[in-house]
Amino acid sequence: MPFKNKFIQQRIEKSETLRKEGFNPYSNDSHRNCTIKKFLNVNSDIAEMEEKRDENRNYIVSGRIKLLRIMGKASFVKIEDESGTLQIYVARDNLAEGFYNDVFKKNIEVGDIIEISGYPFVTGQGELSLHADNLKMLTKAISPLPEKFHGVTDKEIRYRKRYLDLIMNSEVRKTFQTRSKVISLTRRFFEDKGFLEVETPMMHPIAGGANAKPFVTHHNALGINRFLRIAPELYLKRLIVGGFEAVFEINRNFRNEGMDATHNPEFTSIEFYWAYKTYKDLIKITKEYFEYLFEHLNLPTLLPYGDLKINFDNFVEIPLIESLTTIGGVPAEITSDKEKIVAYLNSKNVTVKPGLNLGQLQGELFDEFVEEKLIDPTFITEYPVEISPLARRSDANPEITERFELFIAGREIANAFSELNDPVDQLSRFEGQMDAKDAGDDEAHEMDLDFIEALSYGMAPTAGQGIGIDRLVMLLTNEHSIRDVLLFPAMKPIINEEHNQEEEN
């Protein structure tokens, strides 16, 4: 049960005391007229003044108490708002009679949200501060904050109680501010390029647009199951059929798969589709997109990521089969022979699922021996048809597709291809996927006859791409777990009551 903790009970008693003294512990009449950042900026000249103060300047600031040093006749308080931290000087003789001793010293604590009015001055230690002439409680915090110098270090608690993580760790707030900027800049970049932002359904009658296992929900009114979106691709391509020539969607996708440092069951991506373009045009616009982000985020193009240095001035292109040999060290003579690939994988202690076709086995080689070595931005091109059910075949070699995936720091960041717009070929690909599903592949693509019919009306030559926003933000903020760039990541439920009690205490 909540509020049984003795420290919480003591704070509840103090909130009741405030009420009895005529002070609302949850006041809703804030008159803040200045953020902390603005206060510090506009009063930076105070240090140059002879008096080092200006009693004619009056400000009202608000924030959460992060540090409280109570002394006899005066105290120092550190408050924090979203923009920064400010020191407040609270003196007994500058407040209403009795307020300092009877209200402030007895009932105001670290964690409370207060409002202070006063004038700027510089302390003897040279810190620009606010000299308080009035103080008001806005919100009484009844749960005490973690001890200041250790903060919230348990990652389980940080992820489960993100609000507490944000209170205690201002650097975490900066990560999510950067994430917000990335999404905003992404939208602006594509709008400036002439793309139209659209919205497509998040509940699908068929789990399509990618090879993934879906979440299933039930639509009560219709009495049928629906699948949470694994990708918006097939709906966005329907819009190209309909006559739009450049569309994008910043979307949430849901995949009922494993969780690890780079996978969360729900994630954010941008998908965009561009008529009369090819995957080569997408390589060009992807480079422009990264240049745009780095410029507006003021990031160095030689970007640190853990122990790595990623050179964003060095984009590389290499076909998948070639990468197996030149990067992965796989002997060239085995890369086009199923039996030799299986034997090679077995010799490297890699378990191989039975029944994989040549393209899937080549994909296994890539995953095992190439992917993690791709540090600088690398476009891996020319994927086998068997693992690219929605991509257009190459005219020069019908066994491969006009597709690329972009890898950075050993991780996939983007997937793109010239879209398949031949309805007969698309039907055949879907049928091949259904055979794979019947053989036990629960991630194989479903048959979508309505999409086939849409293609039958004619879709202009089109290129499409998806970029994973979460992994992109990880790169740009030097975070190494997807949970650190998701405000509320998926977590296993707590079933250990003793652990739960430890969290509450």
Residue 435 domain-assigned?
Answer: yes
Residue 221 domain-assigned?
Answer: no
Query: What is residue 213's predicted lDDT score, i.e. its pLDDT?
Result: 86
Lowest mean pLDDT segment, chosen from 66-70, 278-282, 442-446, 462-466: 442-446
Burial of residue 486 (CB within 10 Å: 0-12, 13-18, 19+) is buried
Residue 216 domain-assigned?
Answer: no
Query: What is residue 433's predicted lDDT score, i.e. its pLDDT?
Result: 79
Structural domain span for residue 95:
6-145
180 and 141 share one domain: no
135 and 174 share one domain: no
174 and 58 share one domain: no
pLDDT per residue as tens digits for the range 323-346 = 999 999 999 999 999 999 999 999
Lowest mean pLDDT segment, chosen from 39-48, 148-157, 489-498: 148-157
CATH of the domain at 92: 2.40.50.140
Query: What is residue 413's predicted lDDT score, i.e. its pLDDT?
Result: 97
36 and 95 share one domain: yes
172 and 104 share one domain: no
104 and 176 share one domain: no
Place 503 in a pLDDT band, splitting at 50, 70 and 90.
very low
> What mean pLDDT, rounded, does the chain reach?
93
Residue 352 domain-assigned?
Answer: no
**In whole angstroms, what is the distance from residue 226 CA to residue 229 CA?**
9
Residue 177 domain-assigned?
Answer: yes
Residue 137 domain-assigned?
Answer: yes
Decide if pLDDT at 479 tops 50.
yes
Alpha-carbon dihedral 465, 469, 471, 475, rounded to 10 degrees? 110
Decide if pLDDT at 285 tops 90.
yes
pLDDT per residue as tens digits for the range 299-317 = 999 999 999 999 999 999 9
Query: What is residue 496's predicted lDDT score, i.e. its pLDDT?
Result: 61
Residues 6+ apart with CB under 8 A from 406: 286, 377, 378, 379, 380, 412, 413, 414, 415, 416, 467
pLDDT per residue as tens digits for the range 371-416 = 999 999 999 999 999 998 889 999 999 999 999 999 999 999 999 9
DSSP sequence for 242-296: HT-SEEEEEEEEE--S--BTTB-SEEEEEEEEEET--HHHHHHHHHHHHHHHHHH
Q: Give me the percent of the chain exceeding a pLDDT of 70.
A: 96
22 and 61 share one domain: yes
456 neighbors 427 (Cβ within 8 angstroms): no
Place 443 in a pLDDT band, splitting at 50, 70 and 90.
low
Place 151 in a pLDDT band, splitting at 50, 70 and 90.
low
Lowest mean pLDDT segment, chosen from 211-220, 369-378, 443-452: 443-452
Residue 70 domain-assigned?
Answer: yes
Residue 266 domain-assigned?
Answer: yes
Give me 479's structure tokens: 């975070």
173 and 315 share one domain: yes
Q: Which of 133-147, 198-212, 444-458 reaches the highest mean pLDDT?
A: 133-147
184 and 81 share one domain: no
pLDDT per residue as tens digits for the range 10-60 = 999 999 999 999 999 999 999 999 999 999 999 999 989 989 999 999 999
**In whole angstroms, what is the distance from residue 385 CA to residue 365 CA?**
16
CATH of the domain at 387: 3.30.930.10
Query: What is residue 212's predicted lDDT score, i.e. its pLDDT?
Result: 82
**In whole angstroms, what is the distance from residue 490 CA to residue 104 CA?**
41
Place 498 in a pLDDT band, splitting at 50, 70 and 90.
very low
Query: What is residue 504's predicted lDDT score, i.e. its pLDDT?
Result: 47
pLDDT per residue as tens digits for the range 410-436 = 999 999 999 999 999 999 888 887 877
262 neighbors 482 (Cβ within 8 angstroms): yes
175 and 129 share one domain: no
188 and 137 share one domain: no
Query: What is residue 502's predicted lDDT score, i.e. its pLDDT?
Result: 45
418 neighbors 357 (Cβ within 8 angstroms): no
Cα distances from 432 to residues 283, 396, 435, 458, 466, in angstroms, run 29, 22, 5, 22, 23
DSSP collapsed to 3 states, 319-341: EHHHHHHHCCCCCHHHCCCHHHH
179 and 46 share one domain: no
Residues 6+ apart with CB under 8 A from 233: 208, 209, 210, 271, 390, 464, 466
**In whole angstroms, what is the distance from residue 231 CA to residue 329 CA?**
34
Query: What is residue 431's predicted lDDT score, i.e. its pLDDT?
Result: 87
Place 280 in a pLDDT band, splitting at 50, 70 and 90.
very high
Query: What is residue 5's predicted lDDT score, i.e. its pLDDT?
Result: 87
Q: How many structural domains does the chain have?
A: 2
Query: What is residue 505's predicted lDDT score, i.e. its pLDDT?
Result: 46
Query: What is residue 117's predicted lDDT score, i.e. its pLDDT?
Result: 97
Decide if pLDDT at 290 tops 90.
yes
Give me 238's structure tokens: 């329907």
